[in-house]
Every structure is written in C-alpha cells, then in structure tokens.
Amino acid sequence: MKKLLSLLGAMGMLASTGAVASTVVSCKASTADLSTIKGDDLKLKPTANTEAAAKTAVIAQIKAKLSKTVVEKTDITFSDYKDATSAAAGSIKVTAVSSSKNVKGSATFSLAFSEAPAKAELSTVIKVVELGDITIAASDGKPTADEILVGVKAKNTEAKDLTVSDFAASEITTSGATLTGAGDKYQGTVKVTFSKKAASKAELSTVIKVVELGNITIAASDGKPNADEILVGVKAKNTEAKDLTVSDFAASEITTSGATLTGAGDKYQGTVKVTFSKG
C-alpha cells in the first residue's frame, strides 16, 4: 500500500511540474506574421507620393494591426516600391528580417495616390497692395523680393507666415512690382505699389563733437575760410569725422572766427556751430 501511495505521489508531482512548464512556455512573446494582414488592411494612403511616406504608413499599419512596433533594418526591410499616380495605385513590399523577434513573413501593400493640397490665391494674404514707403538699399531704387516682403508684412497681418519662396517678384520698378504665387502654397498674381523710404539721417553733431577748431589755414584775404578749409579743421579735431565730405554739410554765416554747419545730402541733419582763427 505504501509503495502504491509513493507511486501516485510521484505521478502527481510530475503532472504538477508539467503544468508549470506548460505555463512558462505560454508566457513567451509571440512573433506576428506579416502575411496575416489581408484585404482592405493592405490598402494604404500615405501623406505623400514618396517612398519615405509609404514606409511610414506601412510601419504605422503594422503597429495598428499586429500591435508590433517595428524598426526598418532591425525588424523589416522594404523592396519593390512603385510610385502611386493619379492613374494607378502604387505598391511596396515589406519583409521581416530573419533575426527579428517581433515579426516574420512578408506582405505587399497597395498605395493610393495622394492629391496635392489645393493652393490658396496669393491675394488672400496680400489684401493691401499699396505698401507705402519701404526700405530699398539699391542705388537704382528697385527693391529686392526680401525688401518687398517686409513691406507686404507691414501692411498685411495675414501675410505674417509668407516667405520669399512663396512668390516670385517680376516687373520690378521703383514704384511697383508683380508678385506671382510659387511653391506648394500659393497661386495667382498680385500687383503691389511702393516708394523708397528716405534713409534715416544721423545728427551732424555725432561726428563733429569738438567745435573749437583752433587755428586753421585760410587763404582768402578777408580771413573767411571756405567749406574745404573748415572741413580740414573739423577733421583735425574730430576723428569721427574722417569720412565727412563737403557734400555732407552746408557752411553758412561764415565769419573770420566761426561758421554754422548744417547737415546735407542723405547722411546728416542738424546744425553745428564751429569756431576758429586764422592760422
């Protein structure tokens, strides 16, 4: 009887061990088969008609249908890519890498053609076409596309995201230009007008800080210097005036001991009174 009980006990232990082993096996992660993706699940519409967009769509579909996050070259490889066109669907084949622990097998996906987004009319963001004064650097008074864009944005809040790649500027004159939509966003044409903004002038006093010039050379018998002679004296006392020319100021109220210099031309404004004596 004791032998029988021992034998039955041993059999019970073996059965229990087998159950445990069976449980351990069932806990192993399963490898999903790509070929189980079938029917409409193989039909994709990528965001663009490119291989990169197709790969992204396939990886997303594998995750959605097989609950597996796969990585190209580590888990899968792509081949046989064919562009989708408006006339026919494209395709791409995905094959599991033999060493992948996530997937096995292969599948070929159909790729629907992705229509390009409709372009907006350029006039929807450039509504105010009279730009007014804009900064123009060129001496001929004709602005660049970048300078026109600054003027456009100053008058049109809707154009805040507009870039120079969104339009082509043509027929540029000193008073206007034709802007034509370009790139993927805009189409249509807008004619804008503008004028050259006067350059801001510096105060003459910023370069003529020392106004007591001391002795200067004066050729005239009446002891009154001309503008060139005053300029020599100004430069001798003011290093900031080294690039000053006689066209940058007008000399008036000239006496034997002083003169009034007034900014002229495009660079300077304001007035400076200088004093001097004949050297």
What are the domain boundaries of the chain? 32-111, 120-196, 202-278
CA distances from residue 235 to 47, 110, 138, 243 in whole angstroms, order as listed: 67, 80, 29, 9
DSSP string, 88-128: S-EEEEEEE-TT-SSEESEEEEEE---PPPPPEEGGGT---
d(CA 135, CA 146): 10
What is the reported pLDDT for 115? 87
What is the reported pLDDT for 26? 44
Report the predicted TM-score, pTM, of the whole model to 2 decimal places.
0.46
What is the reported pLDDT for 6? 56
Give the 3-state secondary structure of residue 75.
coil
Pairing outcome for strands 189-196 and 176-181 = antiparallel
Residues ≥6 apart with Cβ < 8 Å to 212: 237, 274, 275, 276
Within 13 Å and on the Cβ side, how many CA atoms surround 38? 3
Helix intervals (H) in the chain: 2-26, 51-66, 145-155, 227-237
Residue with tokens 């351990």: 24
For every one of its 279 residues, what pLDDT tens digit does the chain have, with 9 covering 90 and above? 455 445 545 555 444 444 444 444 444 569 999 999 999 999 999 999 999 999 999 999 999 999 999 999 999 999 999 999 999 999 999 999 999 999 999 999 999 999 888 899 999 999 999 999 999 989 899 999 999 999 999 999 999 999 999 999 999 999 999 999 999 899 999 999 999 987 778 999 999 999 999 999 999 999 999 999 999 999 999 999 999 999 999 999 999 999 999 999 888 999 999 999 998
CA-nearest of 176, 163, 170, 166 to 120 is 166
